[in-house]
């Protein structure tokens, strides 16, 4: 410190940065002392320097500092940060510190172990649950929660059941974080404990199964816990059942079965007293129920944007019973309420709301749009004339909504009216009519559509040109060619876009000519259309544009088109753009390389995976997911295991899912052993299509119990007979935890593939818990 003490902050930072490159024993000491510097920037620089070159001797020095300077919060924090960042084995020395004489040191060790994401720490941390010092036990509990240590479930339940005020709370939190559902039944009795009731409710929401619905609803009815906490737990349970098994409605059914008037009243009172996120959970639960008071409460919440989704879903579930109340809300004072009422009426689909919704078409733009959408959803032809009238509305979004509604009404008189409107004196009406006629391709309107390509109004011409490719008529190609050559820039751009939809190679010469258009957007769309056709003849011209066009958007489009055409020459043009410094060009080049099947495209993509920015790495991962090579699967596996960024991990898992080869599936199976991404891997595996069930089921032979349990979960979520057939194999697993997971999974599935095995387990399994679970599963199915 004496060396640094005399320097100002900038100089100290400089010294630290120099020392980072050439660490010796003495310099390591200076860096460790700098962890106690008054400037956070100096402390941060010291942490980075120590982490970057952390050798065994550095580790020894850090541990010594940890022991000796444990009263300096800065040093302790700094050492912990270095340990977290360093890529060397820190578990062994930290586990040793859990046996240190000093309790503060043991606390710090437990803290650090919780941040290491290394399951080797779990046995020692479970041992620390018996530490004589309460603080050590507290931090060991938290660390086990962070590590999602299923091995610790029983011990943590023991801590929760001890009802020790200081430790039972974190134990329940840790159990919720670990998510081992076996613990739920032992938590239910804690609902009787005044002190632990609320955290127990929340933990049951995270861990429980359908068995906890009844005790939670009964608790709601006693009023001994806040309605919002119970609603949150039930909502969490519902969300988990829906996500995992598509059975959220089952939880709602159970709530309806068990709740009485006092429970409903408490929920409604809760709605009046609660704000923020809790309102959402309460609204969800109230929405499962029926009755006039429930309906009134839901209608009252219409204007609350924070619960819009839940209220709408609930009102739609109430059906036509609430139509009259909703129609009344169309005259509410605030716009949010009126909008929501119109949306709900559209989703309910009760035709008695049609006259009121037609009146709403005369209101402000947003309401007119919502009303048109609602009328489209109801599909009542009484709205036809009013919607036709909207085709001259000055706001384009309102016209669009009316057009969409008219298209969905399917009124038999539509072609006749549209034919008339194609010659209307109002240009907005003609434009709208062109959109409808072009969408349906009404035979009686074809000639008029061609006439509108020469309309006085530029917008009408543009829209007519856009719709030409969908007509089967020999006049289409010459008309588009003429528009591309002689029209205004906007219409030329429309023609360039339209050429993308002309089948065959006839569009090539016109589009190549358009690459020299003076307007950048005409060039942009001509390039895009060439890319869509993937004309290899355009490669040279597109390469030129990619490199030299003065408009950046044209260069972007050219890179994309080169990726669509593919081949070695395209790769040669694309590769340098992956690090050209322009975000749009770089991103597009990466995506294009991902699309190109050529092997030369792979090295620049893998190189870009080392980019520093998270966004860029995610983009590279998405580009890689378009290819199938083994090297990519390996690179993605490394991203999942080594990246500190959750978004990068998630993108890599999504990429493996998209690749979907046997290798990629095997990698997802292996990665499910990592507690930090287990759930994402299970979700990914479960979303694979049924043809890949055999590959997934290979995970049932994995040596790791946690992996086999994950595969059980994934197969259960697939909800297919073939997946259930494979799942039944897990009932023979040597490990009781896997058998229990499989039995639990069959609780949500047909047991036809497993009935005999379940009966066998119920009678003969050597483990009592397995026998009991199998008996319960069989009894549930009988009920």
Partner 1 sequence: MQYPSEHVPISDGTFTLLRNLIHERIGLYYDMSRRDVLMDRLSPRIIELGLGSSLDYYYLLKYSDTESQEWSYVVDVLSVPETYFWREMDQVQALVEYLVPKLVAAKPDSPLRIWSAACATGEEPLTIAMALNEAGWFDRTAIEINASDASPRAIAKARQGLYRERSFRSLPRTLWDRYFVERNGVWQISPEIHSRVRWAVANLMAPHEIAGFANAPIIFCRNVFLYFSQEAMSIVVHHFYHCMPAPGFLFLGAAESLLRINTPFELQEIGQSFVYVKR
Among 380, 466, 487, 549, indicate the residue that binds partner 1 (CB under 8 A): 466
Asked if 464 is part of the footprint of partner 1 (rule: CB under 8 A), the reply reads: no
Least separation in angstroms between residue 435's CB and partner 1 is: 6
Give the span between the Cα atoms of 246 and 466, in whole angstroms.
42
Closer residue to partner 1 (CB): 181 or 407: 407
The burial of 1, by beta-carbon neighbours within 10 Å (0-12 exposed, 13-18 middle, 19 or more buried), is given as exposed
Task: List, as one string, the DSSP characters of 350-412.
Answer: -GGGHHHHHHHTTS-HHHHHHHHHHHHHHT-GGGHHHHHHGGG-SSHHHHHHHHHHHHHHT-T
Least separation in angstroms between residue 105's CB and partner 1 is: 38
Give residues with Cβ within 8 angstroms of 703, minimum separation 6: none
Give the span between the Cα atoms of 380 and 23, in whole angstroms.
79
Among 274, 528, 706, 724, indicate the residue that binds partner 1 (CB under 8 A): 528
Q: What is the CA radius of gyration of the chain?
A: 33
Q: How far apart are the first and last CA of the chain?
A: 74
Closer residue to partner 1 (CB): 213 or 302: 302
Per-residue HEC secondary structure of 100-116 comes to: CCCHHHHHHHHHHHHCC
Closer residue to partner 1 (CB): 96 or 334: 334
Q: Max CA-CA distance within the chain?
A: 94
Restricted to residues 545-604, the positions that interact with partner 1 (CB under 8 A) are: 551-553, 556-557, 584
Binding mask 329-368 for partner 1 (x = CB under 8 A): ----xxxx---------------------------x----
Task: List, as one string, the DSSP characters of 190-206.
Answer: GGG-TTTHHHHHHHHHH
Binding mask 625-664 for partner 1 (x = CB under 8 A): ----------------------------------------
Measured torsion, CA atoms of residues 768, 773, 777, 783, in degrees rounded to the nearest 10 = 80
Closer residue to partner 1 (CB): 23 or 337: 337
Closer residue to partner 1 (CB): 297 or 401: 401
Binding mask 485-514 for partner 1 (x = CB under 8 A): ---------x--x--x--------------
The 8-class DSSP code of residue 208 comes to -
Give the span between the Cα atoms of 168 and 140, in whole angstroms.
13
CA dist 185 → 212, 524, 773 (Å): 8, 63, 12
Asked if 373 is part of the footprint of partner 1 (rule: CB under 8 A), the reply reads: yes
Closer residue to partner 1 (CB): 216 or 368: 368
Least separation in angstroms between residue 590's CB and partner 1 is: 11
Closer residue to partner 1 (CB): 304 or 336: 336
Report the SS3 class of residue 226. Answer: coil
Asked if 302 is part of the footprint of partner 1 (rule: CB under 8 A), the reply reads: no
Q: Is 502 left (phi over 0), alpha (psi -120 to 50) or beta?
A: beta
> How many Cβ atoms sit within 10 Å of the Cβ of residue 705?
18
Among 96, 102, 615, 634, indicate the residue that binds partner 1 (CB under 8 A): 615
Query: 322-340: buried (b, 16+ CB within 10 Å) or exposed (e) per residue?
Result: bbebbbebbebeeeebbbb
Closer residue to partner 1 (CB): 9 or 364: 364
Asked if 276 is part of the footprint of partner 1 (rule: CB under 8 A), the reply reads: no
The residue count for binding partner 1 (CB under 8 A) is 37
Least separation in angstroms between residue 620's CB and partner 1 is: 12
Asked if 435 is part of the footprint of partner 1 (rule: CB under 8 A), the reply reads: yes
Restricted to residues 711-730, the positions that interact with partner 1 (CB under 8 A) are: none
Least separation in angstroms between residue 477's CB and partner 1 is: 19
Q: Of 262, 187, 256, 258, whose CA–CA distance to 224 is shortest?
A: 262
Closer residue to partner 1 (CB): 222 or 396: 396
CA dist 452 → 396, 421, 424 (Å): 19, 11, 11
Closer residue to partner 1 (CB): 180 or 431: 431
Q: What angle do CA 723, 729, 735 make, to 5 degrees?
A: 125
Closer residue to partner 1 (CB): 263 or 438: 438
Binding mask 376-415 for partner 1 (x = CB under 8 A): --------------------xx--xx-xx--x--------
**Positions in the binding site for partner 1 (CB under 8 A):** 333-336, 364, 369, 373, 396-397, 400-401, 403-404, 407, 435, 438-439, 462-463, 466, 494, 497, 500, 520-521, 524, 528, 551-553, 556-557, 584, 615, 618-619, 622
């Amino acid at each position: 410190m004496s060396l640094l003490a005399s320097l100002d902050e900038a100089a100290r930072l400089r010294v630290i940065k120099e020392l980072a490159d050439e660490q010796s024993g003495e310099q390591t000491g200076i860096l460790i002392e700098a962890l106690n510097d008054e400037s956070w920037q100096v402390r941060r620089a010291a942490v980075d320097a120590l982490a970057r070159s952390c050798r065994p001797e550095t580790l020894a020095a850090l541990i010594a500092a940890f022991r000796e300077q444990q009263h300096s919060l800065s040093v302790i924090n700094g050492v912990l940060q270095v340990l977290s960042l360093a890529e060397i084995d820190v578990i062994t020395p930290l586990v040793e510190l859990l046996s240190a004489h000093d309790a503060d040191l043991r606390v710090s060790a437990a803290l650090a172990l919780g941040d290491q994401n290394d399951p080797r720490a779990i046995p020692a941390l479970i041992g620390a649950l018996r530490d004589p010092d309460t603080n050590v036990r507290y931090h060991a509990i938290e660390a086990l929660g962070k590590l999602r240590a299923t091995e610790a479930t029983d011990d943590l339940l023991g801590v929760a059941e001890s009802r020790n005020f200081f430790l039972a709370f974190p134990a329940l939190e840790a159990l919720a974080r670990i998510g081992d559902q076996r613990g739920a039944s032992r938590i239910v009795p804690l609902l009787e404990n005044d002190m632990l009731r609320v955290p127990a409710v929340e933990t049951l929401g995270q861990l429980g199964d359908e068995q906890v619905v009844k005790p939670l609803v009964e608790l709601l009815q006693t009023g001994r816990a806040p309605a919002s906490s119970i609603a949150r737990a039930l909502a969490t349970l519902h969300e988990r059942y829906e996500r995992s098994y598509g059975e959220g409605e089952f939880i709602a059914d159970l709530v309806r079965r068990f709740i009485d008037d006092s429970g409903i009243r408490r929920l409604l009172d809760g709605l009046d007293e609660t704000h923020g996120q809790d309102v959402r959970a309460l609204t969800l639960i109230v929405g499962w129920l029926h009755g006039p008071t429930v309906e009134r409460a839901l209608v009252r919440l219409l204007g609350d944007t924070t619960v819009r989704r839940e209220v709408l879903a609930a009102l739609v579930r109430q059906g036509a019973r609430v139509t009259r109340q909703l129609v009344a809300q169309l005259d509410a004072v605030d716009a949010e309420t009126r909008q929501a009422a119109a949306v709900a009426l559209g989703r309910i689909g009760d035709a008695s709301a049609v006259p009121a919704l037609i009146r709403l078409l005369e209101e402000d733009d947003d309401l007119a749009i919502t009303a048109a959408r609602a009328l489209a959803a109801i599909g009542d032809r009484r709205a036809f004339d009013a919607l036709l009238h909207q085709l001259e509305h000055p706001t384009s979004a309102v016209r669009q909504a009316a057009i969409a509604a008219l298209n969905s009404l399917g009124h038999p008189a539509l072609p006749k009216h549209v034919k008339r409107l194609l010659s209307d004196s109002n240009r907005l009406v003609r434009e709208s009519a062109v959109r409808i006629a072009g969408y349906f391709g009404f035979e009686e309107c074809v000639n008029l559509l061609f006439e509108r390509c020469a309309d006085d109004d530029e917008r009408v011409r543009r829209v007519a040109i856009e719709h030409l490719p969908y007509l089967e008529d020999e006049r289409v190609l010459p008309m588009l060619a003429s528009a591309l050559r002689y029209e205004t820039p906007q219409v030329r751009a429309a023609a360039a876009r339209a050429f993308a939809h002309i089948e065959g190679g006839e569009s090539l010469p016109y589009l190549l000519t358009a690459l020299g258009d003076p307007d950048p957007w005409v060039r942009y769309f001509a390039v895009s259309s060439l890319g869509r056709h993937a004309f290899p003849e355009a490669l040279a011209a597109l390469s030129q544009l990619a490199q030299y066009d003065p408009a950046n958007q044209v260069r972007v489009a050219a890179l994309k088109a080169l990726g669509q055409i593919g081949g070695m020459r395209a790769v040669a043009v694309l590769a340098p753009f992956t690090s050209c410094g322009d975000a749009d060009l770089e991103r597009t080049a990466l995506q294009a390389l991902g699309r190109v099947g050529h092997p030369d495209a792979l090295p620049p993509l893998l190189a870009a995976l080392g980019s520093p920015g998270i966004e860029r790495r995610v983009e590279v991962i998405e580009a890689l997911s378009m290819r199938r090579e083994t090297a990519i699967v390996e690179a993605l596996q490394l991203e999942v295991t080594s990246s500190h960024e959750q978004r990068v991990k998630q993108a890599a898992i999504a990429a493996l899912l998209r690749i979907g080869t046997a290798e990629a599936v095997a990698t997802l199976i292996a990665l499910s052993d990592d507690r930090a991404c287990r759930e994402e891997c299970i979700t990914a595996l479960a979303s694979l299509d049924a043809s890949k069930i055999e590959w997934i089921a290979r995970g049932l032979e994995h040596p790791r119990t946690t992996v086999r349990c994950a595969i059980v979960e994934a197969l259960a979520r697939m909800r297919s007979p073939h997946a259930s057939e494979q799942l039944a194999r897990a009932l023979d697993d040597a490990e009781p935890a896997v058998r229990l997971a499989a039995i639990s999974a069959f609780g949500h599935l047909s047991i036809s593939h497993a009935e005999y095995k379940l009966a066998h387990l119920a009678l003969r399994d050597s483990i009592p818990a397995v026998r009991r679970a199998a008996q319960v599963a069989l009894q549930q199915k009988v009920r």
